[in-house]
Structure 1
């Protein structure tokens, strides 16, 4: 018999808010945070897209972690640790400082599954530049073990330089670039001994991670999971953003607003860094410790377009088949759509919605969180799942920041109050990775 799985903690970190309270206020208040691209981005290239969403600003040392630990992380791992602490605190777990790491009570039989899309590359770029320039690193004698590094003061010559135009080769470049690092640091710093790994499904990575975590608990492999998605694409010269710009996937709007599901849409808004970790628990375990429950996870479906490395299948057949499987016999009240604001993707997604749910009068409420947050690639699915769970808990649906909306879509323009029984979060990624997660309002008497 499958076990029931519930969401008991939400830990988001975005430009509009860090932590559930500020994040929720920003989302339902339709707050945005856009910045113009700096001059340093256009030394050798002229961008068609003129705006991006900056990464959130924070310090792990302010949360009690030693600065030597933070110095060994790329931005994506720093985000994963921050979001984990926020999620655990939100879920009601007691966290205290240990001799080296955090001490957390009640995390027995807990797994970690994190999704990432591309991960951070700044250290790789700097180290490569230093390597081919044959830079000489004046560093102290290398320490023999990671343990000695954790207990030491960071050596600035190993990581950064007082002259930002003269990169140094970072001796920790390999562990910093390992794609398993976001999950590994969670288990190391919070004392978790359960299975721990990352997965990659491009823009659907956060949703895949959440779905797989749901399955592991439902199937009895663990009782709890820390799961979600993180992404950090910040690079001081804008090379990663340029890559997306050259694919013509980014918004060309004069004000930077992407406007998903609008006739004015021209591409997505680049988000250079964000993350979200959710605490999933087996229902009886959550009840036994008196946890607040946001929503119950009751379904997960994933599939592949097998069509193109950067384009959705125009037929939408695979996505439609996932909807048919997960919605069987269920009335969906709310759909947090993928909604990138790219002309082709929004058109395909809207046709699938109409194919599954009929016309506007019979469709669930539909919105796109990317219209507020921009597109954070591997983190987007987790952030949107968090919004979906919050919407169920609070009976609220955020409005769409969209003008001239596409026809025959049930798109609320303002945040509204409405009861939600079932809600879906949808993610579709480069390479044809598709995922749907079904949430349900938790009722004590069921």
Structure 2
């Protein structure tokens, strides 16, 4: 079976789109959570999010495309272009007929949906855009990446809530490993920080409304005073390629995907299974797929949403898989800094970890102030940490009971 190298990444985030600025922000434990600026939140209980601010779609597409594309699709096209540039791949080194795209988004084109619904209500059905359907569906991100980059290989979207991008990357990994494709673009993007998205999460009491006066402290995974997650947006696309091809062209290799586990709780639409059974099985499956043992794992990038139940459940699941060694493995949640990117969360979290390991450190869990007796692992509190990490896993769990875990080796 082929080995799978990660050779490029493109980022759109609340920290910006410059990879080095993003790396520095994660290293320094900065918070990207601010008061929402894109719309009036006067009537909302929740007024904070980690919004993308430093992004101009015209850097990556024409005016007509930028006007038509939902922001999540703009981010997808931009991230893919930056990932290819970052990989150093020249066009003649890409097998366009076989290279594909697997893209994750939990929600898809929510802005386009809301815009055209408003037209329907206020101006009638004839005013709904003929492009409404194609630009609101969750697979159009994958399709547009392929169109812009002429990638004719396997192409589809994964929609599994907050596990979407981990699922997408795991599937892309398996496609290369099994020889179906020599190279894949994979990751995820999300842009749901709009009134309807905020209202939906607010009214299901998933996001915190306790830090409107101090937004930077709102996302606090594993902390005793956590009270819900903070919405984020943006995403990351990666270039995955056959290891032999990457080595032969002298590519910089961020890491190697070595395992993937995926399960379903089959329990509840939002709550994790008691004891984290689905998460436990997914982590074990990723380790088995990588042919490694729990003793080989040096770091865990947690799903760590900052919700009372998820963080407790994930802690229990980690203990179940790793036993007493769980207390010796650093575990951190980068959602503390960039919020919860929903379907793109796994992608930004993989990027944060790889950027840190390239310089020999792991990202922190910021806002960790009050230890929770039920969350008693080493959460890398408040400051990044120098660490010699060879293998790590990255967890993503989503509404609907979806669980997806990647195992990655530093090269």
TM-score greater than 0.5 by the shorter chain: yes
The answer on 1:325 being equivalent to 2:285 is: yes
The match for 1:82 among 78, 85, 96 is: 78
The match for 1:403 among 343, 361, 369 is: 369
The match for 1:375 among 340, 358, 364 is: 340
The answer on 1:435 being equivalent to 2:404 is: yes
The answer on 1:124 being equivalent to 2:85 is: no
* Distance in 2, Cα, partners of 1:213 & 1:369: 23
Please list the CA deviations of residues 166-206 of structure 1 after superposition, one character each: whole Å capped at 9, or x if unmatched. Answer: xx633321221122210111111111111211111100001
* Distance in 2, Cα, partners of 1:120 & 1:375: 17
Q: Map 1:73-152; keep pairs closer than 5 Å.
A: 73-94=69-90, 104-108=91-95, 109-135=98-124
The number of aligned residues is 396
More helix by share: 2
* Distance in 1, Cα, partners of 2:317 & 2:89: 41
Compute the displacement of 1:326 (Å): 3.1
SS for the counterpart of 2:117 is helix
Match of 1:66 in 2: 62
Match of 1:394 in 2: 359
Answer whether contact 2:33 2:51 (CA < 8 A) is retained: yes
* Distance in 2, Cα, partners of 1:125 & 1:252: 24
Answer whether contact 1:18 1:56 (CA < 8 A) is retained: no
Compute the displacement of 1:52 (Å): 1.1
Answer whether contact 1:13 1:23 (CA < 8 A) is retained: no
The answer on 1:30 being equivalent to 2:19 is: no
Compute the displacement of 1:374 (Å): 0.1
SS for the counterpart of 2:75 is helix
The answer on 1:244 being equivalent to 2:226 is: no
The match for 2:49 among 28, 31, 52 is: 52
Answer whether contact 1:295 1:392 (CA < 8 A) is retained: no
* Distance in 2, Cα, partners of 1:440 & 1:40: 41
Q: How well do the aligned residues superpose, as a CA RMSD in angstroms?
A: 1.9
Q: Map 1:291-440; keep pairs closer than 5 Å.
A: 291-327=251-287, 328-329=292-293, 330-359=295-324, 362-401=327-366, 402-407=368-373, 408-413=376-381, 414-440=383-409
Unaligned runs of 5+ in 1: 95-103, 138-167
* Distance in 2, Cα, partners of 1:376 & 1:325: 25
Compute the displacement of 1:406 (Å): 2.8
Unaligned runs of 5+ in 2: none
Match of 1:190 in 2: 149
Distance 1:322 1:130, change over 3 A: closer
* Distance in 2, Cα, partners of 1:361 & 1:68: 52
Moved more, 15-24 or 275-284: 15-24
Distance 1:68 1:348, change over 3 A: same
Q: Which has the larger radius of gyration?
A: 1
Compute the displacement of 1:133 (Å): 2.7
Compute the displacement of 1:361 (Å): 7.1
Distance 1:234 1:40, change over 3 A: closer
Answer whether contact 2:397 2:403 (CA < 8 A) is retained: yes
Match of 1:263 in 2: 224
The answer on 1:170 being equivalent to 2:170 is: no
Answer whether contact 1:250 1:269 (CA < 8 A) is retained: yes
TM-score, normalisation: structure 2: 0.91
TM-score, normalisation: structure 1: 0.84
Distance 1:249 1:91, change over 3 A: same
Answer whether contact 1:388 1:424 (CA < 8 A) is retained: no
* Distance in 2, Cα, partners of 1:39 & 1:419: 41
Answer whether contact 1:8 1:279 (CA < 8 A) is retained: yes
Answer whether contact 1:13 1:56 (CA < 8 A) is retained: no
Compute the displacement of 1:74 (Å): 1.1
* Distance in 2, Cα, partners of 1:115 & 1:361: 30
Distance 1:393 1:304, change over 3 A: same
* Distance in 1, Cα, partners of 2:229 & 2:398: 13
